[in-house]
């Protein structure tokens, strides 16, 4: 059975992204002419004061990232009908001085997200401190109050961009079983029967692909800042990360101090295999400054020469080589 790429137009996920981008958190909105004063100055200022709690990227997150982005994005990605009720539920946690109600109402979705990220919302008690609950209530009231303004003034414009992007994605994968190619090359299965791409135009100048589950990813739209070329190679890259994750990154015993090493080795492994799957038709960088593409390209090429087909072993061998290389450079 072919596992299809399914692009999605989600008002809820687009709103969650837009409201943060509007405040310059995680992303930025360049088109200030059409921003329509989504938030009052007071509300925008408050969200900006919470920026350290909402930021995420490069495999790391902050204290309120999951509550105000990843959980509602996953819950309401296909149906936004009861989206506002989520923030009512969050605000009630402050009144009850407990997160129990939220964990009860959305227990299924939380458990699904924990399948992909075992640490997801693991530190519940840290959310129940008075100062955190006050932030949660205030943020919830802002998110709840302004959703209708986004739908009234911005959604139609975003939706048109999303629909054009969805059409292109459907076109490039109509006769291209890219998930099947990854499964054949790696010998691993995608742990989902399809691969959903939630398309978000305001996903610019920040984290550009945000994974929710094995078969769910938040992805940018085609704009002047993100051309069709990006879609030709990076959707395949992201599918690769979702297939590889249980056999590589998830098997690593990673301290917070060493997280970056394991993460960049993982992303570079996906890139290395992706280049082969795409027959080296595309060249792309993850970002030399952070991901050190050139170092890992050399490492994985050298490991290929050893003819070891065990991808998990190759991943850990690459990390060992990287650490040795760095320790030599430090001498």
Mean pLDDT of all residues in 83-97: 93
Neighbours of 284 (CB within 10 A): 15
- State the pLDDT confidence band at 244, using cuts at 50, 70 and 90: very high
Residue pLDDT, tens place only, 21-48: 999 888 877 665 555 678 899 999 999 9
Residues 6+ apart with CB under 8 A from 126: 63, 132
Residue pLDDT, tens place only, 149-198: 999 999 999 999 999 999 999 999 998 999 999 999 999 999 999 999 99
Task: Of 7-11, 63-67, 159-163, 238-242, give the lowest mean pLDDT range.
Answer: 63-67
Please compute, for residue 21, the number of CA atoms within 13 A of its CA located in the half-sphere on the CB side.
Answer: 24
Residue pLDDT, tens place only, 131-154: 999 999 999 999 999 999 999 999
Residue pLDDT, tens place only, 269-324: 999 999 999 987 788 899 999 999 999 999 999 998 886 789 999 999 999 999 99
Q: Strands, DSSP E only, in the chain?
A: 5-8, 56-57, 60-61, 195-200, 210-213, 216-220
Say what the pLDDT of residue 115 is.
93
Distance CA 9, CA 7 (A): 7
Q: Are 256 and 165 in contact (CB under 8 A)?
A: no
Higher pLDDT, 125 or 328: 125
Residue pLDDT, tens place only, 198-243: 999 988 777 778 899 999 999 999 988 888 988 999 999 999 999 9
Q: Which residue has the tokens 């593409």?
A: 293
Say what the pLDDT of residue 331 is.
44
Give the mean pLDDT of the chain.
Answer: 90
Say what the pLDDT of residue 216 is.
96
Say what the pLDDT of residue 31 is.
61
Distance CA 315, CA 44 (A): 43
Per-position b or e across 91-106, b if 16+ CB within 10 A of its CB: bebbeeeebeebeeeb
- State the pLDDT confidence band at 1, using cuts at 50, 70 and 90: confident
Task: Of 64-68, 158-162, 200-204, 263-267, give the lowest mean pLDDT range.
Answer: 200-204
Residues 6+ apart with CB under 8 A from 103: 110, 121, 124
């Amino acid at each position: 059975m072919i596992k299809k790429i399914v692009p999605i137009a989600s008002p809820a996920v687009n709103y969650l992204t837009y409201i943060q981008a509007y405040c310059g958190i995680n992303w930025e909105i360049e088109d200030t002419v059409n921003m329509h004063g989504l938030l009052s100055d007071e509300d925008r200022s408050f969200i900006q004061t919470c920026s350290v709690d909402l930021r995420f990227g490069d495999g790391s997150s902050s204290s309120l990232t999951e509550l105000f982005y990843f959980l509602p994005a996953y819950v309401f990605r296909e149906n936004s009908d009861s989206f506002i009720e989520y923030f009512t539920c969050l605000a009630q946690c402050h009144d009850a001085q407990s997160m129990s109600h939220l964990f009860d109402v959305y227990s299924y979705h939380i458990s699904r997200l924990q399948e992909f990220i075992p640490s997801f919302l693991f530190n519940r008690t840290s959310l129940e401190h008075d100062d955190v609950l006050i932030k949660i209530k205030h943020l919830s009231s802002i998110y709840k109050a302004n959703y209708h303004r986004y739908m009234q003034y911005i959604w139609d414009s975003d939706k048109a961009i999303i629909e054009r992007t969805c059409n292109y994605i459907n076109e490039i994968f109509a006769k291209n079983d890219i998930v099947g190619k990854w499964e054949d090359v790696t010998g691993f299965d995608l742990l989902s029967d399809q691969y959903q791409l939630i398309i978000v135009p305001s996903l610019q100048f920040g984290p550009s692909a945000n994974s929710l589950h094995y078969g769910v990813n938040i992805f940018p739209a085609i704009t002047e800042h993100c051309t069709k070329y990006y879609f030709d190679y990076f959707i395949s890259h992201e599918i690769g990360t979702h297939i590889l994750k249980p056999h590589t990154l998830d098997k690593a015993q990673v301290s917070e101090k060493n997280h970056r090493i394991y993460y960049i080795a993982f992303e570079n492994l996906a890139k290395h295999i992706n280049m082969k799957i795409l027959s080296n038709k595309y060249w792309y960088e993850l970002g030399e400054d952070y991901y050190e593409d050139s170092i890992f390209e050399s490492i994985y090429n050298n490991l290929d020469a050893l003819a070891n087909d065990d991808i998990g072993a190759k991943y850990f061998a690459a990390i060992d080589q990287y650490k040795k290389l760095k320790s030599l450079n430090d001498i």
